Amino acid sequence: MKTSRIIFHIDMNCFFASCEIAQNEDLNGKPVVVAHDDPLQRGIILSPSYEARKYGIKTTMKVRDAFRLCKEIIVIEPDMRLYSENSKLFHKYLLTITNKVEMASIDEAYLDVTDLIMSKGMDALKLANDIQQFLLNTYKLPCSIGIAPNKFLAKMASDMKKPLGITVLRKREIDKYMWPLPITDMFGVGKKTAPKLQSIKIETIGDLAKFSNYELLSKTVGEHSAKALINLANGNDESEVCYLPSNDYSSVSNAQTFDSNIYDSAVVKNTLKVLCGTVSYKLESTNRVAKTVGILVRYGDFQSFNKSKGLEKGISSSSDIYDIIEDLFDDYCKIDFGVRLVTVYAQRISENKEKNQQISMFDDMTEIEKEEEVKKILNQVKNKFGSDVIKKGYYSYKKD
């Protein structure tokens, strides 16, 4: 008999806004939105605080539209370096609990705590509360936690009580707690899929779970999507928590799932910068480099593309990784399709031997020092002002 799993889904509440409030207590209790601002207020909101959400302000809303709902909102320019650092602290702390941690995005993670609960006799609710209180008291970052027998139900559970909620969702209780929810609340159903389901009278998750005309459903959303959605609506999810054993560094990745489809390249690129920062941190903290860097983009209709670039020399810095990721994104992403998930990954990983390599007595110390100093300054500039501020230059020789 297969042992039931115990999965936590930890979702940091209003992560970008919470990071800003954590470092500036004067913002506490105020309607804060994280967004690029300009005189015409065309910026897209990346993260509204809960005080802002009370006015109906949502992620991906334009700043000017948010001001129409609340004139008192405080617009904070995104600080991707701050969010990346907090994401690293979040991840590092979770690894002190178990190595079975999957970072689903910069602000959410799955933990498989089955062994801790079943073998070591820990109490699941107490463990969840301890995690929640540590993150709040130590980093001033609130989170919600879902506890369930699989990843999908854990994700659904963490959304049921925000902020600072802890929700247990058992499979036998989905008819009571999950099925009455509108189909738009189901994880995996985007803005394009929801109207299609509603067109065939599927208004709630329960309607989908009990939908009997499979042929019509397949025709409406596609056979692959139909099968996957019905399984999820019935609480079935066999996907494993993807984690790296402590001695396995064959690949490193991080991902971000958006609340809704994103049609703005600038929003996606800002997220990619953060993901590159966390991937870089994982490499550099273990003194490793990668010779393959790639990006996976999933659209709202479940289509996706996966592209990577092989390198002769291993890299680990966030700016080097982002330069490649940005090129791949620009070359292959069809932003009009609506981006729902982005993943940055690094493969062909090996120890960074150059970091500890001895300098030969014949090397030009002046040149080495200059090169390292220039690289350090460039990274500082890119981290502060964004990777777009400096681009590589090329000398072009034109024959007369």
Give the separation between CA 193 and CA 364, rounded to whole angstroms. Answer: 61
Residues 168 and 183 placed together within one structural domain of the fold: no
Of residues 149 and 42, more confidence is placed in 149
- Report the CATH number that the domain containing residue 228 is assigned in CATH: 1.10.150.20
Q: What is the number of other CB atoms lying within 10 angstroms of the CB of residue 157? A: 26
Mean pLDDT, residues 247-267: 80
Q: Is residue 321 part of a domain?
A: yes
Residues 228 and 297 placed together within one structural domain of the fold: no
- Report the CATH number that the domain containing residue 132 is assigned in CATH: 3.30.70.270
Least Cα distance to 320 among 360, 285, 357, 290 occurs for 290
Give the separation between CA 111 and CA 118, rounded to whole angstroms. Answer: 14
Give the separation between CA 208 and CA 181, rounded to whole angstroms. Answer: 11
Domain limit, last residue, from 126, 141, 172: 172
**pLDDT at residue 362 tops 70:** no
Return the minimum-mean-pLDDT range out of 42-56, 209-223, 278-292, 301-315.
301-315
Q: What percent of the chain has pLDDT over 90?
A: 55
Residues 216 and 141 placed together within one structural domain of the fold: no
| pLDDT tens profile 365-399 | 344 344 445 545 555 554 555 544 444 433 232 33
Mean pLDDT, residues 317-344: 91
Domain limit, last residue, from 149, 172, 195: 172
Return the minimum-mean-pLDDT range out of 86-90, 167-171, 212-216, 232-236.
86-90
Q: Is residue 152 part of a domain?
A: yes
Tell me, what's the pLDDT at 81?
A: 85
Q: Is residue 380 part of a domain?
A: no
Residues 6+ apart with CB under 8 A from 173: none
Residues 153 and 203 placed together within one structural domain of the fold: no
Per the prediction, the chain carries an average pLDDT of: 85
Residues 183 and 167 placed together within one structural domain of the fold: no
Tell me, what's the pLDDT at 355?
A: 52
Return the minimum-mean-pLDDT range out of 304-318, 325-339, 379-393.
379-393
Contact 347, 292 (CB under 8 A): yes
**pLDDT at residue 222 tops 90:** no
Catalytic residue among 72, 108, 312, 372: 108
Confidence of residue 189 (pLDDT cuts 50, 70, 90): confident
Residues 290 and 319 placed together within one structural domain of the fold: yes
Tell me, what's the pLDDT at 377?
A: 56
Per-residue exposure over 247-286, b if at least 16 CB sit within 10 Å of its own CB, e if not: eebeebbbbbbbeebbeeeebbbbbbbbbbbbbbbbbeee
Tell me, what's the pLDDT at 357?
A: 41
Residues 20 and 168 placed together within one structural domain of the fold: yes
Confidence of residue 364 (pLDDT cuts 50, 70, 90): very low
Residues 59 and 128 placed together within one structural domain of the fold: yes
3-class SS letters over 69-129 = HCCCCEEECCCHHHHHHHHHHHHHHHCCCCCCEEEEECCEEEEECHHHHHCCCCCHHHHHH
Mean pLDDT, residues 94-103: 90
Mean pLDDT, residues 13-29: 96
**pLDDT at residue 363 tops 70:** no
Q: What is the number of other CB atoms lying within 10 angstroms of the CB of residue 152? A: 25
Residues 230 and 310 placed together within one structural domain of the fold: no
**pLDDT at residue 119 tops 60:** yes
Residues 143 and 214 placed together within one structural domain of the fold: no
Domain limit, last residue, from 125, 140, 172: 172
Contact 19, 141 (CB under 8 A): yes
Least Cα distance to 347 among 392, 296, 385 occurs for 296
Query: What phi, psi does 143 have (nearest 5°)?
Result: -145, 160
Q: Is residue 369 part of a domain?
A: no
Q: 7-12 and 108-112 as β-strands: parallel, antiparallel, unpaired?
A: antiparallel
Residues 88 and 50 placed together within one structural domain of the fold: yes
**pLDDT at residue 350 tops 80:** yes
* Count of domains forming the chain: 3
Tell me, what's the pLDDT at 381?
A: 56
99, two tokens: 């190595």
Q: Is residue 375 part of a domain?
A: no
**pLDDT at residue 293 tops 70:** yes
Of residues 355 and 196, more confidence is placed in 196
Mean pLDDT, residues 31-36: 93
Q: Is residue 56 part of a domain?
A: yes
Q: Is residue 389 part of a domain?
A: no
Of residues 284 and 166, more confidence is placed in 166
Tell me, what's the pLDDT at 370?
A: 47
**pLDDT at residue 164 tops 70:** yes
Confidence of residue 211 (pLDDT cuts 50, 70, 90): very high
Tell me, what's the pLDDT at 68?
A: 95
Tell me, what's the pLDDT at 345?
A: 92
- Report the CATH number that the domain containing residue 255 is assigned in CATH: 3.30.1490.100
Tell me, what's the pLDDT at 380?
A: 55
Residues 16 and 141 placed together within one structural domain of the fold: yes
User: Can you give the residue range of the structural domain that contains 354?
Assistant: 251-362
- 284 catalytic residue (yes or no): no
Give the separation between CA 134 and CA 106, rounded to whole angstroms. Answer: 18
Q: Is residue 240 part of a domain?
A: no
